[in-house]
Amino acid sequence: MARQPKSFFTPERRTLLEDLTGLSETDTAALELVGRYAAEKLWPQYEAINADRRAFHAAMDSLIDPKQLGFRGSFLPEDLGGIDLSIPAYMMGLEMLSQGNASVALSLAIDGSVLSALSRLGDEQQLGRYVRDALRDKRMTAFALTEPGYGSDAGNLETRATTDGASWKLNGQKTWTTNGGWADYYFVVCRTNPDRNLGPAGLSVLMVHKEEIAAIEQIPKYTVPGSYTATLTFADSVVPAADGAARLVGSVDTGFMDAKRLLEGGRITIASFGLGIASEAFEMALDYTRTRESQGEALIEKQAIALPLAEFDARLDAARLMTYTAAKRMQAGRMENAEASKAKLLGSELAAELADFNRRVHGSYGLAKEYRCVQLIHDAGVAVTGEGTSEIQKILIASNRKKRTGKDPGFRP
């Protein structure tokens, strides 16, 4: 590839955050480091990180080691082991990491959502073990909601947890768990109330340790191939009620409803993740069409190529504005219900469309392994599907509109 990016913290990205949210010295320093790391380390090793677990771990290690970049959990306050990075700056860091390598960015994003939820819901012992110590000791977390029979319909999930007071017993399966098999700690959503009519109101959250899971099996996959994605099996698996820290996060039966609100931020991380893939597809398309000639001129000189590129350029700006505005409101505690859904919908669909466009403008080379075009399409797939598919985001946006206007979601006042 002709490009040799030096930093993904481009003047455009810097100006956007400066104007939209302001950048503290901490934000600027962290984004400069992460932007360089993503461009100079992750991006050139893209294929190696996707194919070789050692390369993946080496890439992750700098990000999770507090003595190196320590980007993991950086949005947390200092007393919890973070550096008080602003949420918009954290999201932009994820965008740049995703431009460098989506597998790395997704692993970090999911862990970040768990740390964020725990930092608000955990009691003092839980904060100590699962946040402060986990950051210091480089123990990763995973979020286990999806089950083989329940993805979009997670409110009806079946994994059952019963207790005799001294311990919990778990039965069921979780699947598509990012960081599954690597993480030490699993934020497992399970049914504690047998009345299935209660839906999500009968679900609780338990912190389960890796060794308490009966079986962990990796899922071979096209998308984010460097990252761990596993199916977890619980078979009369015993989890102590407390062993230095309680395993139940929040309250019985309502724990997941509380966590759900906090996990809204996870949608913004996936929007940022999608923007990173979209940015890389855009840069690749620009790069290729500037140099590839047809009928005596560069492809980019053809209106049939230049106009869709101009439109993608505008849509990238718009999706960024939405994502970082949502992140700013999240920081201020003023995020509207459907805001993260809108950002995620636009950012992820843009990633999918741009990745496909990039593949097309590369002609046959777009299908060659030598280029990253097909991998970007696969990686965009998880942006569209993870943390709720696009259809689910549209349903959430529509039902939020209905609540606000009291009218049918199809009606636009």
Ligand X SMILES: Cc1cc2nc3c(=O)[nH]c(=O)nc-3n(C[C@H](O)[C@H](O)[C@H](O)COP(=O)(O)OP(=O)(O)OC[C@H]3O[C@@H](n4cnc5c(N)ncnc54)[C@H](O)[C@@H]3O)c2cc1C
Residues that bind ligand X (CB under 6 A): 110, 143-146, 151-153, 176-178, 223-224, 229, 382, 385-389, 391-392, 395
**CB 123, min distance to ligand X, A:** 24
**CB 175, min distance to ligand X, A:** 7
For the record, the structure tokens of 278 come out as 């979209």
**CB 154, min distance to ligand X, A:** 7
Residue number with CB closer to ligand X (263 or 285): 263
Separation between Cα atoms, residue 317 and residue 96, nearest integer Å: 15
Q: Specify the DSSP element, H or E, that contains 29.
A: helix 25-37
Residue number with CB closer to ligand X (44 or 181): 181
Residue number with CB closer to ligand X (264 or 387): 387
In DSSP terms, which residues pair with 163 in a beta bridge?
A: 168
**CB 215, min distance to ligand X, A:** 17
Beta strands (DSSP E) in 100-246 are: 141-144, 160-163, 167-178, 185-191, 203-209, 215-218, 229-240
Residue number with CB closer to ligand X (146 or 348): 146
Residue closest to ligand X, measured at CB: 151
Backbone angles phi, psi at 408, to 5 degrees: -60, 140
**CB 189, min distance to ligand X, A:** 8
Q: CB–CB of 255/214 below 8 Å?
A: no
**CB 388, min distance to ligand X, A:** 6
| Short-list 106, 105, 102, CA closest to 277 | 102
**CB 211, min distance to ligand X, A:** 20
Cβ-Cβ contacts under 8 Å for 90 (sequence gap 6 or more): 74, 75, 112, 327
| Short-list 67, 87, 88, 86, CA closest to 135 | 67
**CB 151, min distance to ligand X, A:** 2
Residue number with CB closer to ligand X (46 or 143): 143
Q: What is the DSSP letter of 131?
A: I
Separation between Cα atoms, residue 16 and residue 27, nearest integer Å: 13
Residue number with CB closer to ligand X (86 or 348): 348
Residue number with CB closer to ligand X (42 or 183): 183
Backbone angles phi, psi at 374, to 5 degrees: -70, -40
Separation between Cα atoms, residue 35 and residue 276, nearest integer Å: 12
Strands 185-191 and 141-144, how do they pair? Answer: parallel
- Backbone torsion region of residue 239, taken as left when φ is above 0, otherwise alpha when ψ lies between -120 and 50, otherwise beta: beta
Separation between Cα atoms, residue 398 and residue 391, nearest integer Å: 11
Residue number with CB closer to ligand X (354 or 396): 396
**CB 182, min distance to ligand X, A:** 12
Residue number with CB closer to ligand X (15 or 152): 152
How many residues make up the chain in this entry? Answer: 413
| Short-list 244, 247, 245, 242, CA closest to 208 | 247
